[in-house]
Structure 1
């Protein structure tokens, strides 16, 4: 009897099993939707979800340098290709999760206009964009402007930001009258409105792939990734202006 009481006491004072922590590196444009999805996940699981947001190029380079991420969600297949080629993700877990649109935004509720009117609309003002040579939103934006014959007219007016949310902020705070961001960014920021939507064929398809990293140390990383294509995550993404591809 005494042994049973001692055993019970040891169990009572034993430290609780430590919950897994899922560390996610995600494109900045995912912040509002993914924060909501992570909060919902934590209501039903013991895991802690920690998310670092930045431009996909910056995150990919950090993963290649050994940053301890369990999941990578990029706004570009090119940067996911880069970490796959360097052996930093598990290619068997890679999947295309989301799509998006590319839009021109201004403050308030601007009147919509053909995107070809951008130079006239911009005048001497600045055009906010994410880094055009490395960050996906900036790369898509430059592709679209080039294909429409507008890049040479606006290049000298471009104000580049580290990521698409930073570009969005330049418009929302009035530092730039216009900016090129994703459709989901326009949904997330009530201080801006859509001036024009770029034709889908003016830039490469906007695709968000996700994958478990080779450094992942929790089996829940793959489960969280799979949940992003299911309810309630699917409805959250769609309400934020994304399209769910799986």
Structure 2
């Protein structure tokens, strides 16, 4: 009888050993953030402020929102995701990879047409968003390229194409578009003089003194530029939720606003 009990106990213990357990909490380790490339300057500053205030740290990977969403889907370890549009956050949410009720809209941005070099004081922009915009862009471009993020995947590229279509200029310039992997790469093409013009976010233009804004696209010429943020379901870092809360609070507001973002704030919670 005793032998039988020992066998049963051994079988139970063996079965329990096969039950998967959650990874241990990673207290003290950096919070891993996947964030849209356009956030770099502002989010680096906000993260540094959080570190100064709390002693906690973050490790931030910047890329196009599409690339980051695909990496998350493939199992890349991350705690937070901040997208430059709703569509790629929707993609991650529909895959069941967001922590329920953690998603909210964090920031807004604007879309601009840029050219290389600083703006000459007192000079008028060469390009007006008039009905003949396509003709004007073709003239200014000459044989050069219009730098944009990938138009069918990266949010900035999708916004840019939508704006040009709305303004009747897409057909005139689509053959001259140089597509970059993300908006910061498109900015770099203009900053280096490799493309006469580019379409980026207003915050990107503000971050690089080697370019200037030729025109700002009307907000109704493209879908609203909104940056949603969320905690990822597989995160086991106890500091991740605290960082997410900090980013929507007063401590991070200045870092975002100094770069030209509009902070949406807590009223967007509960989405």
Task: State the TM-score, normalized to the length of structure 2.
Answer: 0.82
Paired residue secondary structure (2:101): helix
Structure-2 residue corresponding to 1:133 = 152
Q: Which runs of 4+ in 1 moved over 6 A?
A: none
Deviates more, 1:92-101 or 1:43-52: 43-52
Q: Partners in 2 of 1:240 and 1:46 — Cα distance?
A: 24
Q: Partners in 1 of 2:27 and 2:87 — Cα distance?
A: 36
Correspondent of 2:67 among 46, 58, 68? 58
1:114 aligns with 2:123: no
Structure-2 residue corresponding to 1:207 = 226
Measured on the aligned residues, the alpha-carbon RMSD in Å equals 1.3
**Per-residue Cα deviation, 1:127-154 (whole angstroms, up to 9, x for no partner):** 0000000000000000001111111000
**Do the aligned partners of residues 244 and 18 (structure 1) sit closer, same or farther apart at CA in structure 2, a change above 3 Å counting?**
closer
Paired residue secondary structure (1:204): coil
1:123 deviates by 2.3
Paired residue secondary structure (1:98): strand
- Kept in 1: contact 2:110–2:216 (CA 8 A): yes
Structure-1 residue corresponding to 2:239 = 220
Correspondent of 1:182 among 169, 190, 201? 201
- Kept in 2: contact 1:19–1:46 (CA 8 A): no
Structure-2 residue corresponding to 1:84 = 93
Q: Partners in 2 of 1:175 and 1:120 — Cα distance?
A: 17
**Per-residue Cα deviation, 1:88-114 (whole angstroms, up to 9, x for no partner):** 111300000000000000011344231
Q: Partners in 1 of 2:27 and 2:112 — Cα distance?
A: 44
- Aligned length in residues: 230
Q: Partners in 2 of 1:108 and 1:100 — Cα distance?
A: 22
Paired residue secondary structure (1:194): strand
1:125 deviates by 1.3
- Kept in 2: contact 1:20–1:46 (CA 8 A): no
1:31 aligns with 2:40: yes
Over alpha carbons, which structure has the higher Rg? 2
Q: Partners in 2 of 1:65 and 1:28 — Cα distance?
A: 20
Unaligned runs of 5+ in 1: 1-16
Structure-1 residue corresponding to 2:172 = 153
1:18 deviates by 5.8
Deviates more, 1:83-92 or 1:17-26: 17-26
Q: Partners in 1 of 2:181 and 2:82 — Cα distance?
A: 17
Paired residue secondary structure (1:232): helix
Paired residue secondary structure (1:52): strand
